[in-house]
Chains A and B, each alone.
Chain A
């Protein structure tokens, strides 16, 4: 410890030598600033306000099981959005995850009749491997993730068309999956609750595990993380593998919900809603700032807008307009601005 002369205040000397409790008392108390509070509750608040708006203008929406419909519709988007938020968290982007989900859905529809439960395992493994391969190529060949996953997106779309023969594939014997949507807790589908639990698990992973903190470091400053001995390439592979895994679950949910899959059917347009869900959930596109629990509200918001617009009787040609406008406002309100200011 540096020697102190008499000119230094005794107070600061005290805090230097003090026990932890004294030291924390001496530190300037951190006031929960409005911006930090908003970062935490913003995505929820945006959803709550929109939901309340719909419920007040059209009370029948609530009575008609609007919330249950919302949760059902939001499930796949939430899973895709969670995967996207993991990849965004390490500073990359995965444009192929929705295509992985659809490919997984078609693969499942094809194989579940003959393989049963084994088909589910197969889909999870295959999709995770595709994600891992994405991550591997990005980490070791230094390909920008945007370009590489754009390529994978094309390849997977082609693979989906080939596997499905460009028609709708019906899942025979998929009844064991449909209970995911027919059964529910407090009126919301089981599938939705599974996605919510996964979001909480991912939140805890980021916050309380060395793995999660390392991913945060990679997303915020990759070189800084590398020079601290963090295996940055491995972590990118982990993030993309998680994205693949969550996509496979989204694929399974598509089959559970619709009982069939096709290249143009349910779940064929999840990519942009997934990214939007992550961003409306406060995920920073620059990396390192992600709250998976808020992605739940991001996904609910993204799903609510078209459903709510329809419930309010907005003419269909105006619905896209409303969707666009509300998304712009929601993103403006919730997108993570770089909290990393330099104050000297």
Chain B
């Protein structure tokens, strides 16, 4: 497709696709975006990084018309614009892929692509009628453009996560078909829901997108931004603190720019901690049909067992059974030397087991309660009959300080915090328990920026070194290798390998081999 044919007045090549001058946005006393000026050149992939709360999300919302800036000028292809509604942004060529997938899983790929703020301008659905043939053809064209080989007739719920993400991108790109503007595609952590091998595919596709337009990419992990971006913009405390070509920076430098101090690596081996101890929880021959088969697993106090595997490896279901939240068909669980008969999440919690689920918002917390209330939510058997509001407040202040949680206001609803800060509260809910013995962590760092991830990781490490047993389903293999004392590899519900890291030194590749 030739862009130039459709453009009425060709814009000189050196005019940036997007230019922001002195953009500011405040919410009450909080300045989220502080006098930001930046340029997004055409046909480049720009990485936008910063800690949770650095102002990235607000900036993206300004770009997509969800927020209006308090002051400053936005120019698209050289002409000033004002977005009052998301439709305005779409009309100017902005397409967005949100952090959480927003596809309707029971509709077809083509229908999802057609569903767009600008659908009234679309021939395939003009006048409210679905012209199926045209709809599918259009979807096919746009999918081909992003290099995806997906049947537009297939139901979104049936396709893989990476394909769904491609559909999201195709949908975002559709603004290009419907307007005369060069598309600016905004990708907000598109890889956060993907497993590692899927991420590689998506990264390749994102690099190709710049032939069509400009891309603003908010990475899930720092290494991604170095691989696929041409320039990297770093935000901290609402300001742009660096804008560099990718070749000029290292991951460590970026980390330092983002959070203001250097990353600390620390791997302490179990051998350096206390020696052989009695197993805390033992799983033998545990089986649940269609999920996992014949799993043996032992966790000791002060040790971490990392379980790795792709989607469908059954590891999520396995740890839920250990927490009593899901049933199993056969096999046995024993805890502190005792065989467990009936087992429920309520019993597990009261016997000192913590569970941090991967789906934080829907399973890990109660967003409609305040952060302080969430902190005392876990029924570890220590709470009395009455709620002690004063004690609750003191506890919240203590943990907010310890984990550097922002904003420092525990009486706000937890849903109002950013993802990283929510996770800090979820972790604190369990860590504050005096009876804590075992933590089951399902992707505890999912969706966290490096600063928050480090804080949470430090807490996990401290708890482990203090004698708490940890079962970890890590986001990345590196994380598993870094934190684990033992690594269990699962594939299709079966344990395919075990590594004792005090004697073995497997690489990521060794693990990957057993996973797929």
* Residues of the A chain whose Cβ atoms lie less than 8 Å from the Cβ of B404: 1-2, 16
The answer for the CA separation of A222 and B487 in the assembled complex, in Å, is: 33
Answer whether residue B400 sits at the interface, using C-beta atoms and an 8 A cutoff.
yes
* Residues of the B chain whose Cβ atoms lie less than 8 Å from the Cβ of A298: none
8 Å CB interface, B433-465 against A: 451, 454-455, 458
Answer whether residue A225 sits at the interface, using C-beta atoms and an 8 A cutoff.
yes
Task: In the complex, identify which listed stretch (B8-16, B286-294, B308-316, B349-357) lies at the interface while the others stay far away.
Answer: B349-357
Main secondary structure of the interface of B (DSSP, over half): mixed
CB < 8 Å: which of B27, B261, B362, B400 contacts A221? Answer: B362
* Residues of the A chain whose Cβ atoms lie less than 8 Å from the Cβ of B331: none
Q: Count chain B residues whose beta carbon lies closer than 8 angstroms to a beta carbon of A.
A: 59
Answer whether residue A343 sits at the interface, using C-beta atoms and an 8 A cutoff.
yes
In the complex, the answer to whether B386 meets A208 with C-beta atoms within 8 Å is: yes
In the complex, the answer to whether B325 meets A226 with C-beta atoms within 8 Å is: yes
CB < 8 Å: which of A208, A220, A226, A229 contacts B367? Answer: A220
The answer for the CA separation of A245 and B27 in the assembled complex, in Å, is: 47
Answer whether residue B72 sits at the interface, using C-beta atoms and an 8 A cutoff.
no
In the complex, the answer to whether A224 meets B408 with C-beta atoms within 8 Å is: no
Answer whether residue B379 sits at the interface, using C-beta atoms and an 8 A cutoff.
yes
Contact A224-B429, Cβ < 8 Å, known A5-B261, A230-B346: no
- Binary per-residue interface labels of chain A (1-36) against chain B in the complex, 1 for a CB within 8 Å, 0 otherwise: 111110110000001111010011011101100000
Contact A23-B401, Cβ < 8 Å, known A210-B383, A210-B387: yes
The answer for the CA separation of A178 and B199 in the assembled complex, in Å, is: 74
* Residues of the B chain whose Cβ atoms lie less than 8 Å from the Cβ of A221: 362, 365-368
- Binary per-residue interface labels of chain B (158-171) against chain A in the complex, 1 for a CB within 8 Å, 0 otherwise: 00000000000000
Minimum distance in angstroms from A6 CB to a CB of chain B = 8
In the complex, the answer to whether A210 meets B345 with C-beta atoms within 8 Å is: no
The answer for the CA separation of A225 and B357 in the assembled complex, in Å, is: 12
Answer whether residue B385 sits at the interface, using C-beta atoms and an 8 A cutoff.
yes
* Residues of the B chain whose Cβ atoms lie less than 8 Å from the Cβ of A27: 407-409
Q: Count chain A residues whose beta carbon lies closer than 8 angstroms to a beta carbon of B.
A: 49
Answer whether residue A227 sits at the interface, using C-beta atoms and an 8 A cutoff.
yes
In the complex, the answer to whether A4 meets B261 with C-beta atoms within 8 Å is: yes
The answer for the CA separation of A278 and B389 in the assembled complex, in Å, is: 27
The answer for the CA separation of A8 and B383 in the assembled complex, in Å, is: 38
The answer for the CA separation of A84 and B408 in the assembled complex, in Å, is: 37
Answer whether residue B284 sits at the interface, using C-beta atoms and an 8 A cutoff.
no
- Binary per-residue interface labels of chain B (203-227) against chain A in the complex, 1 for a CB within 8 Å, 0 otherwise: 0000000000000000000000000
Task: In the complex, identify which listed stretch (A110-118, A211-219, A257-265, A300-308) lies at the interface while the others stay far away.
Answer: A211-219
Task: In the complex, identify which listed stretch (B103-111, B413-421, B478-486) lies at the interface while the others stay far away.
Answer: B413-421
* Residues of the A chain whose Cβ atoms lie less than 8 Å from the Cβ of B385: 209-211
* Residues of the A chain whose Cβ atoms lie less than 8 Å from the Cβ of B323: 227
- Binary per-residue interface labels of chain B (423-437) against chain A in the complex, 1 for a CB within 8 Å, 0 otherwise: 000000100000000
The answer for the CA separation of A17 and B455 in the assembled complex, in Å, is: 16
Contact A228-B325, Cβ < 8 Å, known A2-B404, A209-B386: no
Task: In the complex, identify which listed stretch (A160-168, A191-199, A334-342) lies at the interface while the others stay far away.
Answer: A334-342
In the complex, the answer to whether A229 meets B378 with C-beta atoms within 8 Å is: yes
CB < 8 Å: which of B260, B383, B416, B454 contacts A343? Answer: B416
Answer whether residue B115 sits at the interface, using C-beta atoms and an 8 A cutoff.
no
Contact A341-B416, Cβ < 8 Å, known A23-B397, A208-B387, A214-B379: yes
In the complex, the answer to whether A223 meets B363 with C-beta atoms within 8 Å is: yes
8 Å CB interface, B382-398 against A: 383-387, 389, 393-394, 397
* Residues of the B chain whose Cβ atoms lie less than 8 Å from the Cβ of A227: 323, 325, 345, 355, 357, 363-364
Answer whether residue B30 sits at the interface, using C-beta atoms and an 8 A cutoff.
yes
Residue among A30, A214, A220, A288 facing the most chain B CB atoms (10 A cut-off):
A220
In the complex, the answer to whether A220 meets B407 with C-beta atoms within 8 Å is: no
Please list the 6 inter-chain residue pairs (A to B) with the smallest Cβ-Cβ separation, ordered nearest first: A229-B349, A220-B368, A229-B379, A340-B368, A5-B261, A27-B409
Residue positions of A touching B, CB distance < 8 A = 1-5, 7-8, 15-18, 20, 23-24, 26-28, 30-31, 207-214, 216-217, 220-221, 223-231, 288-289, 338-344
A sample of 24 inter-chain contacts (CB < 8 A) reads A20-B393, A23-B397, A24-B397, A27-B409, A30-B409, A210-B386, A210-B387, A212-B387, A213-B376, A217-B369, A220-B366, A221-B362, A229-B345, A229-B346, A229-B348, A229-B350, A229-B379, A230-B377, A289-B368, A340-B367, A340-B413, A341-B413, A341-B416, A343-B27
Q: Contacts A216-B369, A229-B345 given; 11 further ones with Cβ under 8 A?
A: A2-B451, A2-B454, A16-B401, A27-B408, A28-B29, A31-B28, A226-B345, A228-B377, A229-B350, A288-B366, A340-B415
